[in-house]
């Protein structure tokens, strides 16, 4: 088949590119029509043959010799390399044993969906399809990125996906918006990435167009570079986690000066009167004034008043990033931003009102495709048991325990087998010390991995999986107006195999071959899922062979008519919102009825336990922000060329202000120890005036690398912030991830600096 294509022949979550194998490396060229290609694609250049790759099937020695069971040796023990046939026999016997003895409710199907941009070789779909053919599995819901928003948005305005994708268009911002108040920012690094990828990155261009037209940008963040410099934003360096206090003060100013839109509130919302009583201090004796908020958020009262004055300066957009809801009470800033926008009366207008997540990923603010994308069916899961995704440690450690979630009382199952394909929980999850203890509880952990991540090193059976550049696939996403023929660019390393082929062989051993494969090979599945999608759009797409030879196919997009909120604004009676009242719920009787003290019936300021102003700050005075990285996607390809180039002496950089560095006698490049009662990590200091004093920032995604000299305590020498983050839900409503913020101490590291070994494979025994 042809290896040429118009500008690209592969798609990743961070963009389309052309790749040519030259020896063990790939020469990577961005898609020629991409105006702002992501540099992350260069991580592919050296990744496929890196020493970190899992090259052979392997079984943890203790599990192989002693059999299934809980173990505290996971993560520190050597592996035994075995032939594929023998390992598949072992894995199939163990899977069959668990299903036969304790049933599918004792199996957790772990995957986070980011392993491949391809529509067929999508690890999450593959593992869920396989486990469903066996009788089902315990699943997780929501995401680490948007756990709080995914629950609060449907309760007060509408479904998460529709609000995220259909509340605003970047073109409307470029044409209509006069003032953008961005809580948490719209960092360029985040605009590079989205699930499935895009062949053209456009968000940054739209924002720049708005600035050239004269739009005014205000950045509310502890990090000055959370908005592109070209926008000329006014920076309001807030204390992290205090956005709600600032929003309340802005709302108070609107009410005090009679500048809120009462007509809009009366027609389109419910419950403002109850919220107003709280805002003005009638219910708790504390008016939410700028002076009150200033003491909490660290922004001068005069600056808050001036910002409030800009909220009526034409078409105003209140924007919140995904980052600000990844913290204690993360539901509140999302809800309060909706209320603030409602008070301005502009929700549903082009370029105005409220938007969640614009700039958080490359597909936000863009038109959606108008067809069903090629998809591998997963079958129905008969097991009803689930957990919020960020509660995995709790589940494993507390079988039979319970947790509140969105008005329900969930009971944790007794998990005996964890099957993970496509994801690295030792990146995503908080408090690695607790996660390590949790990973010691199951009887067996099976992992498909392309590299020796910490998750693979904590498994019992590790099956080497191909990378997306080592196989053929179809690339597509919900906001990309083309399908991409993702051609294999390089041969699989050593004994790595596609997830599909691994599952097919296991299914055959378990008597489920026909159910899982339906008699199709990978290539036959590609043709099948493409033609299934084509049947719905026969005039829009060519046949599969033409598509594959050409390399891509244009697909139609839906014309934007204002989306859910735009239709609601035009006629709220004919197009009510899918909320109990049919309106925007400023007060939610449903949420109030749950009786959660950490998520009351309207947006409220609740001081954090592990943040600015808490009792812990006396002992741990620095507020750590652990945000998304600029040099990789999550922890993927941390060993890639671009990711490695961003490290300092092999360690992840941590930024802190000149004042905080001077107070600790820290200089640029110093190795520092960051710690609290949960653990510690080492990082390389970078002194920057783009960071608010009292705050430090480090990216997530450096692979966890436990120091062997500190057995019994969590001590990552590479710079993984989850060594210190707190594993607690946002609230009892959403139980979302709170890993964005925590309190720490920072000191210059003295003594011999331990080497970084994160990308080295574990010791293997060959039999």
> 341 and 247 in one domain?
yes
> 127 and 160 in one domain?
no
**Mean pLDDT for back-to-back runs of 10 residues, the chain (767 residues):** 50 93 92 92 96 98 98 96 98 98 97 84 96 98 95 98 90 97 94 91 94 98 97 98 98 98 98 98 98 98 98 96 96 98 97 92 89 94 97 98 98 98 93 98 98 98 97 94 94 97 98 98 97 89 95 91 94 98 98 98 97 93 97 95 97 98 98 98 98 98 93 93 98 98 98 96 93
For residue 482, being part of any structural domain is answered with no
For residue 40, being part of any structural domain is answered with no
- Domain boundary pick from 451, 486, 512: 512
> 102 and 240 in one domain?
no
* Enclosing domain of residue 726: 615-748
For residue 669, being part of any structural domain is answered with yes
> 346 and 216 in one domain?
yes
What CATH number has the domain bearing residue 737?
2.40.40.20
What's the start-to-end Cα distance of the chain, in Å? 40
Q: How far is CA 5 from CA 16, 550, 649, in A?
A: 11, 6, 39
Quick one: pLDDT at residue 536?
85
Give per-residue pLDDT as tens, 674-718.
999 999 999 999 999 999 999 999 999 999 999 988 878 999 999
> 136 and 190 in one domain?
no
Quick one: pLDDT at residue 712?
80
114 is catalytic: yes
> 287 and 390 in one domain?
no
> 277 and 215 in one domain?
yes
> 360 and 212 in one domain?
yes
For residue 477, being part of any structural domain is answered with no
Set 44, 63, 112, 356: catalytic member: 112
Set 14, 44, 99, 114: catalytic member: 114
> 314 and 220 in one domain?
yes
CA torsion through residues 658, 659, 660, 665, sign: positive
**Cα 188 to chain center, whole Å?**
16
144 is catalytic: no
For residue 128, being part of any structural domain is answered with yes
For residue 757, being part of any structural domain is answered with no
> 204 and 245 in one domain?
yes
> 290 and 216 in one domain?
yes
Q: What angle do CA 659, 662, 667 make, to 5 degrees?
A: 120
CB-count burial class (<10 Å; 0-12, 13-18, 19+) for 520 = middle
Total number of domains in the chain: 3
> 344 and 454 in one domain?
no
CB-count burial class (<10 Å; 0-12, 13-18, 19+) for 405 = buried
Q: How far apart are CA 429 and CA 131, in angstroms?
A: 23
Q: How far apart are CA 88 and CA 362, in angstroms?
A: 39
Instruction: Could you list the beta-strand ranges (E) of 591-678.
Output: 622-627, 653-656, 671-676
What CATH number has the domain bearing residue 437?
3.40.50.740
pTM for the whole structure = 0.97
Quick one: pLDDT at residue 538?
83
- Report phi then psi at 110, rounded to 5: -95, 130
Q: How far apart are CA 211 and CA 233, in angstroms?
A: 9
Confirm if 662 and 143 have CB atoms less than 8 A apart: no
For residue 631, being part of any structural domain is answered with yes
For residue 154, being part of any structural domain is answered with yes
């Amino acid at each position: 088949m042809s290896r040429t294509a118009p500008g690209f022949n592969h798609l990743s979550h961070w963009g389309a590119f052309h790749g040519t194998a030259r020896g063990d490396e790939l020469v990577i060229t961005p898609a020629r029509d991409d105006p702002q290609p992501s540099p992350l694609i260069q991580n592919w250049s050296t990744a496929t043959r890196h020493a970190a790759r899992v090259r052979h099937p392997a079984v943890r020695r203790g599990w192989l010799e002693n059999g299934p069971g809980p173990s505290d040796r996971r993560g520190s023990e050597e592996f035994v390399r075995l032939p594929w046939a023998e390992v598949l026999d072992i894995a199939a016997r163990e899977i069959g044993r668990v299903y036969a003895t304790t049933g599918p409710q004792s199996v957790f199907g772990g995957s986070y969906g980011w392993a491949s941009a391809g529509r067929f070789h999508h690890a999450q779909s593959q593992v869920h399809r396989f486990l469903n053919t066996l009788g089902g599995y315990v699943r997780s819901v929501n995401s680490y990125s948007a756990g709080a928003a995914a629950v609060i948005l449907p309760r007060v305005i509408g479904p998460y996906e529709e609000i995220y994708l259909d509340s605003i268009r970047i073109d409307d911002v470029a044409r209509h918006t006069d003032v953008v108040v961005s809580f948490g920012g719209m960092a360029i690094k985040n605009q590079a990435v989205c699930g499935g990828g895009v062949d053209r990155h456009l968000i940054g261009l739209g924002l720049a167009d708005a600035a050239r037209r004269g739009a005014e940008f205000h950045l509310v963040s502890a990090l000055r570079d959370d908005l592109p410099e070209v926008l000329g934003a006014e920076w309001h360096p807030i204390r992290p986690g205090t956005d709600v206090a600032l929003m309340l003060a802005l709302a108070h100013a609107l009410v005090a000066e009679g500048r809120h839109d009462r007509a809009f509130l009366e027609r389109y919302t419910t419950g403002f009167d109850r919220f107003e009583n709280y805002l003005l201090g009638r219910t708790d004796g504390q008016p939410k004034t700028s002076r009150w908020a200033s003491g909490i958020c660290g922004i001068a009262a005069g600056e808050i008043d001036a910002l409030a004055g800009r909220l009526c300066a034409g078409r105003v957009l209140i924007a919140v990033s995904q980052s600000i809801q990844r913290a204690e009470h993360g539901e509140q800033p999302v809800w309060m931003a909706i209320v603030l926008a409602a008070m301005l009366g502009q929700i549903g207008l082009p370029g105005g009102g409220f938007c969640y997540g614009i700039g958080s990923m490359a597909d936000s603010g863009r038109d959606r495709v108008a067809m069903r994308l090629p998809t591998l069916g997963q079958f129905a899961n008969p097991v009803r048991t689930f957990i919020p995704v960020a509660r995995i440690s709790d589940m494993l450690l507390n079988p039979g325990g319970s947790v509140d979630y969105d008005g329900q009382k969930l009971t944790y199952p007794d998990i005996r087998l964890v099957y993970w394909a496509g994801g690295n929980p030792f990146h995503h999850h908080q408090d690695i010390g607790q996660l390590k203890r949790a990973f010691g509880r199951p009887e067996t952990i099976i992992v498909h991995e392309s590299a020796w991540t910490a998750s693979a090193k904590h498994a019992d059976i590790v099956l080497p999986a191909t990378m997306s550049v080592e196989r053929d696939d179809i690339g597509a996403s919900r906001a990309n107006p083309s399908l991409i023929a993702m051609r294999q660019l390089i041969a699989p390393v050593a004994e790595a195999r596609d997830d599909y082929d691994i599952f097919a062989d296991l299914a055959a051993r378990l008597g489920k071959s026909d159910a899982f494969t339906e008699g199709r090979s990978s290539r036959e599945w590609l043709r099948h899922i493409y033609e299934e999608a084509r049947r719905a759009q026969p005039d829009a797409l060519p046949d599969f062979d033409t598509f594959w030879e050409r390399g891509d196919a244009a697909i139609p997009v839906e014309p934007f008519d204002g989306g859910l909120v735009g239709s609601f604004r035009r006629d709220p009676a004919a197009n009510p919102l899918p909320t109990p009242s049919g309106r925007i719920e400023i007060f939610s009787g449903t949420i109030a009825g749950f009786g959660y003290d950490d998520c009351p019936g309207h947006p409220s300021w609740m001081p954090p336990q592990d943040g600015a102003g808490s009792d812990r700050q006396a002992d741990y005075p620095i507020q750590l922000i652990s945000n998304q990285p600029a040099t990789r996607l999550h922890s993927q390809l941390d060993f890639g060329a671009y990711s490695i180039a961003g490290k300092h002496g092999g360690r992840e950089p941590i930024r802190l202000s000149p004042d905080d560095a001077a107070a600790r006698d820290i200089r640029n490049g110093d190795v520092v120890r960051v710690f609290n009662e949960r653990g510690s990590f080492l990082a390389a200091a970078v002194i920057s005036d783009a960071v608010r004093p009292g705050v430090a920032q480090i990216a997530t995604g450096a692979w966890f690398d436990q120091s062997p000299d500190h057995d019994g305590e969590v001590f990552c020498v590479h710079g993984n912030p989850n060594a210190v983050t707190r594993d607690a839900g946002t609230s009892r409503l959403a139980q979302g991830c709170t890993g964005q913020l925590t309190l720490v101490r920072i000191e210059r590291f003295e003594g011999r600096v331990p080497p970084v070994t994160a990308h080295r494979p574990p010791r293997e025994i060959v039999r």
